[in-house]
Amino acid sequence: MSLDMLTIPAECVAQSRISELDYNNIEFGKIFSDHMLVADYKDGAWQTPQIMPYGNMSLSPATSALHYGQSIFEGMKAYKSTDGAILLYRPLDNLKRLNISAERMCMPALPEDIFMQGLEQLLKLDAAWVPPTAGCALYIRPFMFATDDFIGVRPSSTYRFIIFSCPVGAYYGQPLKVAIEPHYMRSAEGGAGFAKAAGNYGAALLPARKMQEKGYHQLIWTDARDHKYIEESGTMNLMFVIDGKLITPPVSTTILKGITRDSVLQLARDLGYTVEERKVAVDEIVEAHKAGKLQEAFGTGTAATIAQIAVIHHNGADMELPAIEGREISNKVATELDKIKTGEAPDTHNWVYRINL
């Protein structure tokens, strides 16, 4: 399907809700922009997308996504540049990952023209919703779900793809206390852990809540077989600095291939740091902490960007990490990454997609 951007029909809101937004007090995921992009898949093809006011949808109680979990999503951010343009960070990588998730969940691939041209037109229409405030962004949520009104375990023959957005501040407002999960698992080899499938997150809610009731913000997932190796934490990839080296578990069928993860590793290499992508044993982290060599621990993700970890709980004891302000690698990389995303530093890796208004 080939689209001219101007052929995407748009129904605009009669009255914008932007007056509800306080740029200096933005809660994550609470206020949504005026419009959304919607495209339906039926008869073996994607139909012409349209832009409409953000609002509720009418669904059959038999909608197959509600029963059998064919639902995937992405997360990305847009920033306002100093000259007023909108800057998207690595959107084509989000599309690539969306289609990897779609393949794993037996869903149709989304064409690039629907994604990119629809996204550009949507953001031009809702440009006022991109916060000019430092540390804030417009969070963008593309997602796809099955829409057959049919009760039976089989891939749906119809789907809906939507993009909506919401202005956001920081996902985590403070350094994190996390706990290593010794019992529950997030994903096993050969499963769907590498996909951004809705069910991956639903299954994580109970063990996460159990840890939160004990005073921790999130948990650290370990491998499904032996719980010996570290994998992810909540919605983030994990990284550690041990004796001056930046170390992170390798992506696999159980670990999401994070776009922020990839960016952080590349920037660390650019800055001259040693980077190791390898298995990270729980025992290695414990021993490094005992030896005073565990210098930094942090999560990476679109929502959090870089979330510093202050405490790691394991086997009944808390391991306190060095002060955030003294952390060299994560702080340098975070600063450089923010400058690239907002157009304040050269984009040598061609990560930024510019939308001129």
CA–CA dist 95, 113 (Å, integer):
11
Nearest CA among 171, 149, 172 for reference residue 160:
149
CA–CA dist 168, 298 (Å, integer):
21
Q: What is the pLDDT of residue 133?
A: 83
CA–CA dist 122, 238 (Å, integer):
33
**For residue 116, what is the enclosing H or E element?**
helix 112-125
Q: What is the pLDDT of residue 2?
A: 44
- Provide the 10 A C-beta neighbour count for residue 32: 19
Per 3-state DSSP, the chain is made up of helix, strand and coil in percentages (nearest 5) of 25, 30, 45
Q: Which residues pair with 143 in a beta bridge?
A: 73, 162
The answer to whether 249 touches 280, Cβ cutoff 8 Å, is yes
Q: What angle do CA 102, 254, 154 make, to 5 degrees?
A: 35
CA–CA dist 218, 207 (Å, integer):
9
Nearest CA among 286, 293, 300, 246 for reference residue 268:
246
Structure token pair of residue 332:
């340098």
For residue 57, give every residue at least 6 positions away whose Cβ sits within 8 Å of its Cβ, in sequence order, or none.
Answer: none
Letter string b/e over residues 165-196, b meaning 16 or more CB atoms within 10 A of that residue's CB: bbbbbebbeebbbbbbbeebbbbeeebbbbbb
pTM (predicted TM-score): 0.94
Count Cβ atoms within 10 A of the Cβ of residue 267 and give its class: 0-12 exposed, 13-18 middle, 19 or more buried: buried
Q: What is the pLDDT of residue 305?
A: 87
Provide φ and ψ at 278, rounded to 5°. Answer: -160, 170
CA–CA dist 114, 112 (Å, integer):
6
CA–CA dist 254, 189 (Å, integer):
6
Q: What are the average pLDDT values for consecutive 10-residue runs of the chain, which has 357 residues?
A: 64 94 83 97 97 97 97 96 94 98 98 96 96 90 98 96 93 88 93 94 94 95 96 94 98 94 98 98 98 98 90 97 97 96 95 95
The answer to whether 229 touches 222, Cβ cutoff 8 Å, is yes
Q: What is the pLDDT of residue 173?
A: 73
For residue 152, give every residue at least 6 positions away whose Cβ sits within 8 Å of its Cβ, in sequence order, or none.
Answer: none
Structure token pair of residue 225:
């077989």
Q: What is the pLDDT of residue 134?
A: 82
DSSP string, 173-204: SS-EEEEE-SS--S--TTSSTTS-BHHHHHTT
